[in-house]
Amino acid sequence: MATPADAATYFRKGFGLKTEVQGDLASDYDGRLVDYLRAHDYTLAVGDLTIRLAREFGFCYGVERAVEYAYQTRRKFPDRRIYLVGEIIHNPHVNARLGEMGIQILMPGLDGFDFSGVRADDVVIMPAFGVTIGDFEALRAVGCVLVDTTCGSVLNVWKRVDSYARDGFTALIHGKYYHEETRATASQVRKYPDGHYIVVRNMDEALLVCGFIEGTVDAATIRARFGEAISPGFDPERHLRRIGVANQTTMLARESLAIGEAVGAAIARARGAAARAEDFRTFDTICSATQERQDAVIELLKEPLDLMVVIGGFNSSNTISLAALCAERVPTYHIDTATGIDPERQSIHYRPAGIHHHEADRAGWLPAGPLRIGVTAGASTPNNKIGETVARILASRGLVADV
C-alpha cells in the first residue's frame, strides 16, 4: 500500500522500542500458572480436578506483534492523540488495556468508519485484521502517521485474491462477510475494474454456489441469499465461471479445504476436468497458528475429558472455530474472559458453540465428582487470562493451585 515516499508517516516494523516495552507487556499479559502448566506436561491436578491444557494456545506471533507495536506507538508518541481502527484483536482485556493507555478505539457505524475527527498530527494504528483499501486511502489523505500491524498471514491472503482478480477469477472467500479481515480481503479484489468476490459462511452456502454451477440453483437465489456478501455488480452467470478459493485465516481449516474441493468438483461435473483445470484455483490460506491450535485441540480431545473450556472474545473467529471442534466431542463452554466463571455463584457466562450472536448463563456447570477438564484459548487470548480461568475453575470447587 505505502511507497518509499511515505516512510515518514507509514510504519510496518515498529519503532525499535521492543526492549523498552517488554516489561510492560510481561506485566500486562504473562501468566505464572500457564508457565507451571507448560513445565508440567500441560497438566495440573488439584483435589479431584485435573486440568489439561492444549499444547498450542493463546497469543500467536501476529497478535504478539500487533499488541507490541501498539505499546511501541504509545511509547514513541507520548503526547500525541492515538487512534485504533476498530479492535486491534478480538480480546476484550487487550482492547480495554489499550484504552487505559489512552489509545482511542474507533468503532464502525452503519456507513463504516468515521475519520472526520482525525487530524494530520494524530497517529492511527491499523489492526491485525488489516483495513479496507478505502479506509487506508482515507487515512493517507488525512496525512496522519499510520502504524500498520496487519498480520503477515492476512497479507498472504491478500496476495492470493489479488492474483485471482488480476487473472479474471472471482474470489470465493470462506469467511464472515462482516468480519474486519474478510472486508479488508474483499477490498483487495476491487482494485481491478472487473474484480469480484463472493463470501460463503459455511459448506451449506458453498453448496448453493455449487448448485448454481451445476444448474440446479438460479441466479436470483444466489443474489437473494448472499446480498451483502457479494461484490457490487455481481452477476452469477459471468462471475461464477472462473473461481479462485481463499479464506479468512481464522476459519475452521477442514471446512475451508472441503469447500474448495466441493467447488472444484462441481465445476468438473458441470463442464469437465479440463474446465476445472482451467477455471478453478484453490489455496489453503488458513494461518499456521490457527491450524496449530486446531490440531492441538483435536489431539487433546483424544483423551477422556469431561468438558472443555475455551477462552477468547465472543467475536473471535478462531476461538469460535476451536469451540466448535470441542463441542463435537464434549460439553464445551466458550468464555470471553476469566470473569465469565463465577466461583461464588457456581455459574458460567458463555457462548454456546454453533449458536451465532448468543450468550447464556448456566448454574452448576461443574458436575460432581472427579473431573478432567480441557482448556484452550484463541490466538488473541493472553496467558494471564488463561491462568485466571484455571484459577477460577479450581475456586469453583474451593480449591487453590499451590504453584
Check if CATH label 3.40.50.1820 holds for domain 160-284: no
If you search the block for the grid coordinates 464445551, which residue do you land on? 332
Angle 358-360-361 (CA atoms, 0-180°, nearest 5)? 165
Contact 93, 385 (CB under 8 A): yes
Q: How far apart are CA 241 and CA 97, in angstroms?
A: 47
Q: How far apart are CA 147 and CA 88, in angstroms?
A: 12
For the chain, the structural domain boundaries read: 28-60+289-395, 61-151, 160-284
Contact 254, 290 (CB under 8 A): no
Report the pLDDT value the prediction gives residue 5, as an integer from 0 to 100: 43
If you search the block for the grid coordinates 490457527, which residue do you land on? 290
pTM attached to this predicted model: 0.91
What residue type is 167 in one-letter code? Answer: D
Q: Which residues pair with 11 in a beta bridge?
A: 147
Task: Please tell me if the domain spanning 28-60+289-395 has the same topology as the one spanning 61-151.
Answer: no
Rg (CA), the chain: 23
Q: Output the CA–CA distances (angstroms, integers) from residue 242 to 114, 282, 384, 385, in the order listed.
A: 36, 11, 47, 45
To the nearest 10°, report the CA torsion of 291, 297, 298, 301. Answer: 180
Ranges of beta strands (E only) in 252-317 are 280-282, 307-311
What is the mean pLDDT of the segment spanning 110-118? 92
pLDDT tens-place string over residues 61-106: 999 999 999 999 999 999 999 999 999 999 999 999 999 999 999 9
279 against 289, higher pLDDT: 279
252 against 219, higher pLDDT: 219
Q: How far apart are CA 174 and CA 247, in angstroms?
A: 4
285 against 334, higher pLDDT: 334
The CATH code belonging to domain 28-60+289-395 is: 3.40.1010.20
pLDDT confidence bin for 177, thresholds 50/70/90? very high
Among 310, 335, 337, 307, CA closest to 323: 310
DSSP 17: -
Task: Decide if pLDDT at 3 tops 60.
Answer: no
pLDDT confidence bin for 156, thresholds 50/70/90? very high
Among 235, 210, 241, 214, CA closest to 223: 235
DSSP 108: P
Q: How far apart are CA 103 and CA 124, in angstroms?
A: 9
Q: How far apart are CA 334 and CA 340, in angstroms?
A: 9
Known catalytic membership, residue 68: no
pLDDT confidence bin for 110, thresholds 50/70/90? confident
Determine phi and psi for 227, rounding to 5 degrees.
Answer: 40, -105
pLDDT tens-place string over residues 357-403: 799 999 999 999 999 999 999 999 999 999 999 999 999 999 999 87
Report the pLDDT value the prediction gives residue 7, as an integer from 0 to 100: 67
Q: How far apart are CA 28 and CA 32, in angstroms?
A: 12
Catalytic residue among 56, 68, 180, 181: 181
Q: Output the CA–CA distances (angstroms, integers) from residue 271 to 169, 209, 237, 264, in the order listed.
A: 16, 15, 14, 11
Task: Decide if pLDDT at 32 tops 80.
Answer: yes
Check if CATH label 3.40.50.11270 holds for domain 61-151: yes
Q: How far apart are CA 260 and CA 248, in angstroms?
A: 13
